[in-house]
Chain A
Amino acid sequence: MYTLEELANGDTAIHRIHPSVKLLATFVYLIVVISFDRYALSKLFPYLFYPFVAMAVSETPYNQLLKRLVLALPFSLLAGVSNIIFDTETAFVIGGIAISAGVLSLFTILLKTYLTVMAVLILVSTTPLRDLSNQLIRFKIPPILVMQITMTYRYLSILLNEASTMYTAYLLRSPRNKGIQLHHMGSFIGELLLRSIDRTERVYYAMKCRGFHGAMGFAQKHSLQITDFVYAVFFCLLVIGFRFFDLSQLLGQMFV
């Protein structure tokens, strides 16, 4: 997670785009990608341009994002596999091999997952969290939600460290076990929860001591430039344009 935050402090053309423009562009991209039906695999291919171009321009290492993408894929895979079982109708035939609609929808779901998760990861790895939080508040997202995101992001690592310390302490006292035994899992998770609640309480005290009254403020450090407008218009036109003009089909017709 923190590698992403370090990447977010880079200084490339993508990093310099105004956070509100990046947020808007990602939102438009996500909505358009999600709007395709489950058999629209080929229509999604043109959208691959964004992750690749954005990563190249922002000098984001592909493996850093891929590692995180892998965490999301199993969920999509599980959702997609059931389509293979229930949706057996033949969608098309390639070289004498019938491809079922279920298989087609599985690949569509996987591609959609890739595109959407990558879009969000690119946003997070090119925009510091404070700028994102600031823009979310400016977009009238309830401050309580923005605060939840900010605090979760900040304290996730501390919770993981706490869990890791407890796990190490557990293993040191049960050298014959390879992990936490099932009958200890309840108390382990319970203890972690209690520690989290304790910490939450202490953090809240610290906030109240500094005049906290329900909303966190961030400074607006960016102003919109002409290049931001150009990027926003160009990006949105391209993404929405691909939605209505099937580029894959056009290219296919040119070569067949």
Chain B
Amino acid sequence: MIEVEELGITYPDGTRAIHDLSFRIDDGQSVAIVGANGAGKSTLLLAFLGIIAPASGKLQVNGLEVKKDNLPEIRAQMGMVFQNPDDQLFMPNVYDDIAFGPRNYGLSEQEVEERVSEVLQVLNAEHLRNKMPHKLSGGEKRIAAFGSVLSMRPSIMLLDEPSSFLDPRARRNIIALLAGLKLTKVIATHDLDMALDLCDRVIVLQNGSLFADGDAQSILRDKATMEACGLELPLSCAGR
């Protein structure tokens, strides 16, 4: 569960990225955070993990306040898949990347091996085990990035533009994969069709504040709301 109360985030240059934002995400929900460029989507995800500190307000993850002392526990419970997999895959091979998180949390090498094997099996990616990250295709990199987070067995998964850099087939595979993951998902995205496919709820941000929050089907099909916050209707609803 994520609770956001009157959250305010200010960048070092004084720009207000997020202001007066409040909402709550319950366990098991799949929530899309949408908004135009610069609306504060990625910033919000980083704030959930304590990477960016709030200037005001309160953030709680699974009952733990997002503050320095709680960060190791919060980061063990909540994983984030970054927009660019090259930012996430920094080890010499996929195995070590997937093992990176579990090792940092002090698991024995046997447990690490078990987790990596389990994740590779879930992702149907055994063949990537010993591959070097730079040799992977865009879709494979994305899958490896998912694996690097799933191996920590998070209860909440944050995803920043998970369908970017992907061709249609890889995008479809990723959507199917995400649909099969039974955990809380928070997806920051411009891909409104994917949001329609995966999410039951949508939070719309505009200039760092809450513009709309509610049922995905009704919000994403509402042309006035979409256009007011600099977005368009999903292609599947646009009748093109």
Contacts and interface: CB of A to CB of B under 8 A. Distances in A.
Interface of A: 2, 5, 9, 128-130, 133, 150-151, 153-155, 157-158, 199, 202-203, 205-213, 216-220
Contacts of B40: none
Query: Which 7 residue pairs of A and B lie closest in terms of their CB atoms, listed nearest first?
Result: A211-B104, A210-B101, A202-B87, A217-B103, A130-B92, A206-B88, A129-B92
B80 A209 contact: yes
Interface in B139-161: 148-149, 152
Contact of B112 (A128, A129, A153, A219): A219
Nearest to A154: B90
B93 interface: yes
Given A128-B92, A154-B90, A154-B133, A210 B99 contact: no
Contact of A210 (B93, B132, B133, B152): B152
Choose among A157, A210, A218 the residue with the greatest number of B CB atoms under 10 Å from its CB.
Answer: A210
Is chain A's binding surface mostly helix, strand, loop or mixed? Answer: helix
A128 to B, nearest CB: 7
Contacts of A211: 72, 75-76, 101, 104-105, 152
Interface in B68-103: 72, 75-76, 79-80, 82, 84, 86-88, 90-93, 96, 99-101, 103
B208 to A, nearest CB: 20
Contacts, number: 85
B51 interface: yes
B49 interface: yes
18 contacts: A5-B132, A128-B92, A129-B92, A154-B133, A199-B86, A202-B82, A202-B84, A203-B87, A206-B80, A206-B88, A207-B90, A209-B79, A210-B79, A210-B100, A210-B149, A216-B91, A217-B104, A219-B112
A130 B104 contact: no
B90 A151 contact: yes
Given A130-B91, A208-B51, A211-B72, A218 B96 contact: yes
A130 B72 CA distance: 26
Nearest to B80: A209
Given A150-B91, A199-B87, A205-B51, A213 B132 contact: no
B49 A206 contact: no
Contacts of B76: 211
Interface in B107-127: 109, 112-113
Contacts of B149: 210
Interface in B29-75: 46, 49, 51, 72, 75
A25 B105 CA distance: 35
Contact of A154 (B91, B100, B113): B91
Given A205-B82, A210-B148, A219-B112, A2 B103 contact: no
B134 interface: yes
A209 B134 CA distance: 21
Choose among B49, B51, B152 the residue with the greatest number of A CB atoms under 10 Å from its CB.
Answer: B51
Contacts of A209: 49, 51, 75, 79-80
A155 B132 CA distance: 12
A203 B87 CA distance: 5
A207 B51 CA distance: 11
Contacts of A205: 46, 51, 82, 87
A150 B75 contact: no
A157 B136 CA distance: 14
B199 to A, nearest CB: 22
Nearest to B52: A205
Contacts of B101: 210-211
A157 B75 contact: no
A206 B104 CA distance: 13
A213 to B, nearest CB: 6
A199 B88 CA distance: 10
Choose among B72, B92, B109 the residue with the greatest number of A CB atoms under 10 Å from its CB.
Answer: B92
A243 B92 CA distance: 37
A219 to B, nearest CB: 5
Choose among B82, B84, B103, B149 the residue with the greatest number of A CB atoms under 10 Å from its CB.
Answer: B103
Contacts of B75: 208-211
A143 B86 CA distance: 22
B156 to A, nearest CB: 12
Given A205-B46, A219-B99, 8 more contacts: A2-B132, A202-B82, A203-B88, A205-B87, A206-B87, A211-B105, A217-B99, A217-B104
A252 B148 CA distance: 61
B109 A219 contact: yes
